Amino acid sequence: MLRGFAVAAAVLLSWNVCWGQGYPAKPVRLIVPSSPGGGTDSTARIIAPKLTELLGQQVVVENRAGASTLIGQEVVARAAPDGYTLLMGNSSIIILPSIHKHVRVDPIREFAPVSMAVVLPQLLVSHPSLPAKDLKELIAFVKARPGQLDFAAGGIGGNPHMTMELFLHMAGLKVVYVPYKSGNAGFVDLLSGQVSLAMSSLLTAMPHVRTGRLRAYGVTSAKRASGLPDIPTIAEAGVPGYEAIQWFGVLAPAGTPRGIVTRLHGEMVRAVQDAEVSKRFINDGAEPTWSHSPEEFADRMRADMAKWAKVIKDAGIKPQ
Residue 47 domain boundaries? 17-119+245-314
Residue from 65, 33, 38 nearest 204 by CA: 38
28-32 and 85-90 strand pairing: parallel
Query: Is residue 319 assigned to a domain?
Result: no
Number of domains composing the chain: 2
Whether residue 222 is found in the same domain as residue 149: yes
Write down the H helix ranges in the chain: 2-18, 39-55, 70-77, 96-99, 135-143, 159-171, 183-192, 202-210, 234-237, 258-273, 275-283, 294-314
Domain at 36, CATH number:
3.40.190.150
Burial of 245 (0-12, 13-18, 19+ CB in 10 A): buried
Residue from 297, 314, 268 nearest 94 by CA: 297
pLDDT string in tens for the chain (320-residue length): 544 444 333 334 444 445 567 999 999 999 999 888 878 999 999 999 999 999 999 999 999 998 888 999 999 999 999 999 999 999 999 998 998 888 889 999 999 999 999 999 999 999 999 999 999 999 999 999 999 999 999 878 888 899 999 999 999 999 999 998 777 888 999 999 999 999 998 888 888 999 999 999 999 999 998 778 889 999 999 999 999 999 999 999 999 999 999 999 999 999 999 999 999 998 888 899 999 999 999 999 999 999 999 999 988 888 87
Which of 210, 237, 264 terminates a domain? The answer is: 237
The pTM for the full model equals 0.85
pLDDT at 320: 77
Give Cα separations from 85 to 26, 38, 120, 228, 264 (angstroms): 11, 20, 25, 36, 12
